[in-house]
Chains A and B, each alone.
Chain A
Amino acid sequence: MKSSKKKIRLFLSIGLFFSIVFQPIRAQNYINGNVEKGASLFKTNCTSCHSPDLTKKLIGPALYGVTNKRNSEWLHKWIKNNKDLIKRGDKDAISIYKEYGKIDMNPFPQLSDKDIDDILSFIKNTPSHHKEKLSVEKTSEIQPRETLIRLVILGFSVLSVILLLLLLRIYTLVRIIDEESHDRKKKIPIGILEKYRFIGYILIGVFFLSSIFVIWDFLMNIDVNKGYQPNQPIYFSHKIHSNINQIDCQYCHSSAKYGKVSGIPSANICMNCHVSITEYNGDYIENGKDKIFYTKEIQKIYKAIGWDPNTRTYSNETHPIKWIRIHNMPDFVYFDHSQHVVAGEETIKKSQNVDVVCKACHGEVQDMDKVKMVNDFTMGWCINCHRTTEVNMDNKYYVEYFNKLHEKLKKQYNGKNPVKVTVDSVGGIECGKCHY
């Protein structure tokens, strides 16, 4: 309920400012303010509803040029307390208010006149990007890669043709040799054969061992997907979100601290921000990509959740996003995110030497444009960590149940090593703890 009210309020305040924009200019404005200070004030106070580049209508209207359309005195009053203005019967204010559903913009009594002047001068002095069209370079970034792939394939086919030819040659040669073999056998002195037999055995042995090794290695890597980096239906860059914009992992993966799965964020979480961030304006652009590419990806969220950014309404036409799962535990493994993220946070960070607990397994996700599986995610890998990571003896649970374990381990190891109470010493590598 609360949130819906808030939403309505926000919508109306857009309406209000919108109407302001289209009001005829009534008075000339004389605004003297600090543009830089205004910029920062604008960022902290206004950008949750108004477009930061002033050119787009978001929750609030695009403010570009508002200083030309309205007189500054009126704007001061409006910003400080628009309700009061309406109450006092200001015609413009009321008409805006009525036109947009009778809910008002948040008042800002905490802003001084100077502050408002700063903001207004920021608005006034910001050049519009409105008409500045981003040069659309049609140089497709996919092309070079495709040609590379084609080259490789061509190379392979040439090679295979050569190989085939070679094999044919060898085959004919062997046939010729076979025909002559009777004579040859006689010609080779037995001594030489005896002499090199040993080397032959060694060679066979080496071949045998190495092939066993290769097979072993191959088998052990079945379903080990380290390095798996699929293309996702939406090009979501963790680098932009997590690194550049410093969004906490658990803002989106909010189930991680409660349940066994960290949760693929639902699209409504994206909309928390992307309701106002409709296009990509960041400085970071990957090689071969451009801003329009990123903006298009943002549009995909709107399509999925059925949001029309022009009318700013949700339709019922939704298209759930089919993400490709990268980290997939088999059904017979029970892994609980919350226990690692909450109870194990401190010690996991310590043992894996990371600043965020998630990185212990998922790696430097904040530097990935495309998420990649950076670890084996095999049982051995899990167990290794359980063997080396200490349990958090500050946690009252462990204090309560394992207070004497340290003493016991000390005795067991004759006090030689500095004994650690690791996860495996509290039963963390028992089969049934993860397999049920």
Chain B
Amino acid sequence: MGNTTRREFLKWMGFGIASATLASCKGPVIRSIPYLVKPESITPGIPVYYASTMFDGFDLASVLVKTREGRPIKIEPNTESLHFQNVSSRVQASLLLLYENERLKGPSIKRQSVSWNDVDKYVISQLKQIRKKGKKIVLLSSSFPSPSTKKLFQTFEKVYTTASWITYDAYSYSSALDATKEILGIRALPHYDLSQIELIVSFDADFLGDWSPESLAKSYAKQKKTGANMLRHIQVESNMSLTGANSDRRIPLKPSQVHHLLYEVYKAMHGDSNHYLAQKIYKEIKIKGSKAVVFAYGSKEAYALALLINKKIRSHALEKNLFLLAKESNDLSFKKFIIDLEKGDIGAILINNANPLYTYPKIKELKNGFKNVELTVSFSPKEDETSDLMKVWAPTNHWLESWGDTEPITGMYTLMQPVIQPLFNTRQFQDSLLIWSNTKIDHISKKNSMTYHSSNLPYYDFLKNFFKKNILPISSVSSFNEALFKGCVSLYKEIKLVRNQNPTKKYLQTFDHSKKEGFELKLYTTTALGDGTQSNNPWLQELPDPITRTTWENYITLSSFDAKKLGIRNWHIGNGAMDGDCVYLTMGNITFKNVPVYIQPGQALGSIGLALGYGHNKGKVSCQSVGINAYYLYENFNILQKGIQLKKSSRIHKFSCTQLQHTMGGRNSIARETDLETFLTQKKEIWNKEEKIKTYKVDIPLDKITLWKEKDRSQGHHFQLAIDLNACIGCGSCIIACHAENNVPVVGKEEIRKFRDMHWLRIDRYYSTEESFESMAKKGLSQKNLFYEPEMYKHLLEPEYNPKVIFQPVMCQHCNNAPCETVCPVAATSHGRQGQNMMAYNRCVGTRYCANNCPYKVRRFNWFNYAENDQFDFYMNNDIGRMVLNPDVVVRSRGVMEKCSLCIQMTQATIAKAKKEGRKIKDGEFHTSCTKACPTGALSFGDINDPKSQIVRKLEDDRSYKLLDFIGTRPNVFYQVKVRHSK
């Protein structure tokens, strides 16, 4: 400070502040630049929707893309489509990768950026030489169910006669495909139609996850409609999967035991099994007959046995004879490719949608092999582990910038159309192939050598001609444009099946019964990351896993018994976060150091689980996540590995988990469930008890006593949101939909650990406990006895070994008598006539009283500016990433509380539309982002002032209840009791 006195300092500071304030009082000059020539289809402020197909090599969906002022900002399901209309969290989040700052901005040769013309000249001359030498040219790609691209590759093959297409899926479906080929005669995954199914027995098949390329969630939830014929679902599995969590009866077994049980069930079907459980399961199957279906996974034999059982019982699920063509994994051809690579037979490798250096366990072989290849071309849109070794980078477009087509299922054809000009100087790999197969490259006009527009690129014409020639005649549409408008067309083509003779005995003989010391590992794909294609996506990294509710990491899941044996613990620390021990994981000669362990209720004894898709060393966001690359353990394309040794290490891992408590702690009225028998035979009071206020005389119904003045809401709209716990499978699509619609920021691993996550919508997961208040009271550990209370809760907080799981989406409940509103000192949060609890961000001063007074803990505080802040270097920190923001919703700044608004911008838009058109609003017109995205229809939204609406029927249903209604908040969100079909 030196000579400056305190007075002087204050004086100058005061003067400085005053002058700064005065200077800033003048508004800045804001410039607005309109279009010079406005495109006809664009009206500022009005969204335009395009039908397209999302395909990134792993996921596939028929979607509608919402664009604003030419920017795609949201992915919604294409309801016109009969199949693949499930927009999972990954499908929706793939939008964010379009605006990824790390995408390659243009082509390059040996890291020197060049023009496309140079690339074409270089590649063509190289390819010609390689053809002359007779060396092989390989296109290594993920499954690519695009008929036109395959046709296109034929022309490429004609020019370069040594070329071949090798399909390589990181997460392989090859064993299932082979099994189907042998039993049903077609190398495609069967489509299971659940519309008549009343019993599902699944052996390790995560059919609500990635077991089938088309999620069965929708038809599964449909069959779970309450009634005598409600679906019963038995899941036999080792890891606690999303599917297992939804099952009515879950049997946790080691992977080898799961397969053994399947084997026994199959034998029981033929009458020669003594296995008690197998007989019991078979009995159930037998009763349901063709209304049952069996799923299995893990090996070719298992898949085959399940198919054989389905064939034997003539399951209705296979009746439609449809096959999914979305996956074409072929392990054999890839293994052959590796051999060729080692021999040095391969002269050129073009890689599309594949990252073998990350996903193939034997990296050294690959690296050595690649060294001998003369021409290596990566089509990867951004730098990845594999592109590091590639000479030519010819980045392909994002799917939102691309033309394309897919045939994901027999009888359906979908189209992909660009909704935005390529953001960077990239080119679709189909265009590259087409240009390279035309060896005279003079036709590329030199004028446009730097930037290409889709109009002067060849693939569009190729696709259009292909469609007109091959698809249009056998389709339901009359023109290419109509097909583009719809996004999908159904075909009249039928696949003829070549049925095999009874191959049954073979499967029984080759069934693997071998045993090994140590743990059995099941590798799995998470709901968020899948096979890891999108690991650089912050939305997905921060999407809590539905089961463990962790973010930004992968870990070993281990049962509590095994953990105790190994001395491994998970514990909570002072700030509320969770820490856990790490282990050394050894499999054969591979050892991972310090792998975190998450103690998973329901994990089968002697088994461990580990998620694929983590542990990248490329990509800013990927690298922020903590995890190991489980693909190193994915030997022989087998998700089941045996003989794993675990040893505790001294390292402590810091988990970023959004929910630490496993159970409801005895307060089972939060997420209510009942079993089917009670539901069908008992009165509502038994299984969905209405809460009452206890007074000294009698119990009074809730609405008799209230602190608040009741308002008349009979005029206008009154919105309510229904959440059917029976249909909710916990998949998390709604969370990403909410992110995209409401500009919810990503906060990163460290902040999540401090419970500063910003999700407006969370899906709570609760495990069942062995004990309840009643059972504890019998043991003498009553709630009334203060001394025993801690002891009692110890039991109530401990999930049972094989717990039942319930998911409960919780967002702002929009209470009519909202506790948050009462305590806000500046009236920043107030109640609307239409039932929405409104949050005026510009009024909020950040006292956080509301969050403290909210019984549902749904309010989120902006501890920082998450936009334009280098501390949060996610998509909101760069100009390109910010293009994804929804312009109708403000980006909140630091010090402001935020929460679910029931998508008031959407309801207001619907109302404004009706007002302008002067009409009544039809039932089903009101939507929120989450209800639109929900694949199972668990979330639904509507106006209860419309007596004929769906929502009123749901509200009046016996199953409906409101969360914590005994505190008198009168929420506008209501739940419906889950009914479990357990016998």
Is B915 in the interface zone, CB < 8 Å from A?
yes
Known contacts A339-B915, A436-B901; A332/B841 CB under 8 A: yes
Interface string of A315-351 (1 = CB under 8 A from B): 0001011111100101110101011001100000000
Query: Which of B22-30, B136-144, B309-317, B477-485 lies on the face that meets chain A?
Result: B22-30
Interface string of A52-69 (1 = CB under 8 A from B): 000000000000000000
* Cβ–Cβ contact A223 & B27, under 8 A: yes
* Cβ–Cβ contact B838 & A255, under 8 A: no
From residue 236 to 281 of chain B, which have CB atoms closer than 8 A to chain A? Answer: none
Is A21 in the interface zone, CB < 8 Å from B?
no
Is A384 in the interface zone, CB < 8 Å from B?
no
- Tell me how far the C-beta of A410 lies from the nearest C-beta in chain B, rounded to whole angstroms: 13
Known contacts A268-B37, A324-B31, A401-B716; A432/B840 CB under 8 A: yes
A93 to B41, CA, bound (A): 41
* Cβ–Cβ contact A408 & B716, under 8 A: no
From residue 97 to 154 of chain A, which have CB atoms closer than 8 A to chain B? Answer: none
Interface string of B864-895 (1 = CB under 8 A from A): 00000000000000000000000011110000
* Cβ–Cβ contact B912 & A331, under 8 A: no
A426 to B714, CA, bound (A): 11
* Cβ–Cβ contact A332 & B716, under 8 A: no
A330 to B31, CA, bound (A): 14
Task: List A contacts of B911 (CB < 8 A).
Answer: 397
Residue from A264, A427, A433 in contact with B34 in the complex, judged by beta carbons closer than 8 Å = A264
* Cβ–Cβ contact A264 & B830, under 8 A: no
Is A259 in the interface zone, CB < 8 Å from B?
yes
A318 to B888, CA, bound (A): 30
* Cβ–Cβ contact A320 & B36, under 8 A: yes
Task: List B contacts of A265 (CB < 8 A).
Answer: 34
Interface centre among A222, A230, A321, A401 (most CB of B within 10 A): A401
Is B905 in the interface zone, CB < 8 Å from A?
yes
A436 to B836, CA, bound (A): 12
Task: Name which residue of chain A comes closest to B841, CB basis.
Answer: A332
Task: Name which residue of chain A comes closest to B828, CB basis.
Answer: A431
Is B575 in the interface zone, CB < 8 Å from A?
no
- Tell me how far the C-beta of B782 lies from the nearest C-beta in chain A, rounded to whole angstroms: 46
A320 to B45, CA, bound (A): 20
* Cβ–Cβ contact B832 & A334, under 8 A: no
* Cβ–Cβ contact B27 & A225, under 8 A: yes
Task: List B contacts of A416 (CB < 8 A).
Answer: none
Residue from A258, A318, A323, A397 in contact with B915 in the complex, judged by beta carbons closer than 8 Å = A397
Task: List B contacts of A321 (CB < 8 A).
Answer: 33-34, 36
Is B682 in the interface zone, CB < 8 Å from A?
no
A321 to B32, CA, bound (A): 8
A210 to B918, CA, bound (A): 52
Is A26 in the interface zone, CB < 8 Å from B?
no
Is A186 in the interface zone, CB < 8 Å from B?
no
Task: Name which residue of chain B comes closest to A319, CB basis.
Answer: B36
Task: List A contacts of B35 (CB < 8 A).
Answer: 266-268
* Cβ–Cβ contact B36 & A259, under 8 A: no
* Cβ–Cβ contact A268 & B36, under 8 A: yes
Residue from B836, B890, B919 in contact with A331 in the complex, judged by beta carbons closer than 8 Å = B890
* Cβ–Cβ contact A268 & B38, under 8 A: yes
Task: List A contacts of B834 (CB < 8 A).
Answer: 427
Residue from A318, A332, A397 in contact with B36 in the complex, judged by beta carbons closer than 8 Å = A318
Task: Name which residue of chain A comes closest to B905, CB basis.
Answer: A436
* Cβ–Cβ contact B36 & A343, under 8 A: no
* Cβ–Cβ contact B832 & A430, under 8 A: yes
Is B364 in the interface zone, CB < 8 Å from A?
no
Is B715 in the interface zone, CB < 8 Å from A?
yes
- Tell me how far the C-beta of B924 lies from the nearest C-beta in chain A, rounded to whole angstroms: 16
Known contacts A267-B36, A408-B712; A328/B30 CB under 8 A: yes
Known contacts A334-B888, A402-B716, A436-B890; A397/B920 CB under 8 A: yes
Task: Name which residue of chain B comes closest to A301, CB basis.
Answer: B36
A402 to B920, CA, bound (A): 11
A336 to B715, CA, bound (A): 23
- Tell me how far the C-beta of A390 lies from the nearest C-beta in chain B, rounded to whole angstroms: 14
* Cβ–Cβ contact A342 & B45, under 8 A: no
Is A305 in the interface zone, CB < 8 Å from B?
yes
* Cβ–Cβ contact B833 & A427, under 8 A: yes
Task: List A contacts of B37 (CB < 8 A).
Answer: 266-268, 305
Interface string of A384-399 (1 = CB under 8 A from B): 0000000000011110
Known contacts A426-B716, A435-B842; A339/B912 CB under 8 A: yes
A10 to B904, CA, bound (A): 50
Task: Name which residue of chain A comes closest to B914, CB basis.
Answer: A397
A222 to B23, CA, bound (A): 11
Known contacts A268-B37, A324-B30; A435/B841 CB under 8 A: yes
* Cβ–Cβ contact B904 & A432, under 8 A: yes
Is A205 in the interface zone, CB < 8 Å from B?
no
Task: List A contacts of B842 (CB < 8 A).
Answer: 330, 332, 435
Is B43 in the interface zone, CB < 8 Å from A?
yes
A318 to B37, CA, bound (A): 10
* Cβ–Cβ contact A343 & B912, under 8 A: yes
Is B44 in the interface zone, CB < 8 Å from A?
yes
Task: List A contacts of B716 (CB < 8 A).
Answer: 401-402, 405, 426-427
Is A89 in the interface zone, CB < 8 Å from B?
no
Is A263 in the interface zone, CB < 8 Å from B?
yes
A20 to B428, CA, bound (A): 53
Task: List A contacts of B43 (CB < 8 A).
Answer: 255, 258-259, 263
* Cβ–Cβ contact A334 & B715, under 8 A: no
Task: List B contacts of A296 (CB < 8 A).
Answer: none
Residue from A261, A269, A305, A338 in contact with B912 in the complex, judged by beta carbons closer than 8 Å = A338
* Cβ–Cβ contact A432 & B832, under 8 A: yes
* Cβ–Cβ contact A336 & B841, under 8 A: no
- Tell me how far the C-beta of B386 lies from the nearest C-beta in chain A, rounded to whole angstroms: 40
A338 to B836, CA, bound (A): 23
Is A87 in the interface zone, CB < 8 Å from B?
no
A260 to B886, CA, bound (A): 14
Task: List A contacts of B715 (CB < 8 A).
Answer: 401-402, 404-405, 408, 426
Is A167 in the interface zone, CB < 8 Å from B?
no
* Cβ–Cβ contact B832 & A230, under 8 A: no
A402 to B718, CA, bound (A): 12
A281 to B25, CA, bound (A): 43
From residue 913 to 937 of chain B, which have CB atoms closer than 8 A to chain A? Answer: 914-921
A255 to B69, CA, bound (A): 13
* Cβ–Cβ contact A323 & B890, under 8 A: no
Task: List A contacts of B30 (CB < 8 A).
Answer: 324-325, 328
From residue 399 to 436 of chain A, which have CB atoms closer than 8 A to chain B? Answer: 400-402, 404-405, 408, 426-427, 430-433, 435-436
Task: List B contacts of A318 (CB < 8 A).
Answer: 36
Is A304 in the interface zone, CB < 8 Å from B?
yes
Is B839 in the interface zone, CB < 8 Å from A?
yes
Task: List A contacts of B833 (CB < 8 A).
Answer: 426-427, 430
Residue from A258, A269, A332 in contact with B45 in the complex, judged by beta carbons closer than 8 Å = A258
Interface string of B836-855 (1 = CB under 8 A from A): 10111111000000000000
A395 to B919, CA, bound (A): 8
Task: List A contacts of B839 (CB < 8 A).
Answer: 431-432
Is B66 in the interface zone, CB < 8 Å from A?
no
Known contacts A260-B45, A266-B38, A330-B842; A322/B31 CB under 8 A: yes
Task: List B contacts of A264 (CB < 8 A).
Answer: 32, 34
Task: List A contacts of B32 (CB < 8 A).
Answer: 264, 322-325
* Cβ–Cβ contact A255 & B919, under 8 A: no
What are 8 A-to-B residue pairs whose CB atoms are below 8 Å? A325-B32, A395-B915, A397-B919, A397-B920, A408-B712, A430-B832, A432-B904, A436-B889
Given A397-B921, A400-B919, list of 14 further CB < 8 A pairs? Answer: A255-B45, A259-B46, A263-B44, A264-B32, A264-B34, A266-B34, A266-B35, A324-B30, A325-B30, A325-B31, A397-B914, A431-B832, A435-B840, A436-B838
Interface pairs A-B: 6 shortest CB-CB:
A432-B838, A259-B45, A343-B915, A266-B38, A260-B45, A266-B35
| A residues with CB within 8 A of B | 222-223, 225, 230, 255, 258-261, 263-269, 304-305, 318, 320-325, 328, 330-332, 334, 336, 338-339, 342-343, 395-398, 400-402, 404-405, 408, 426-427, 430-433, 435-436
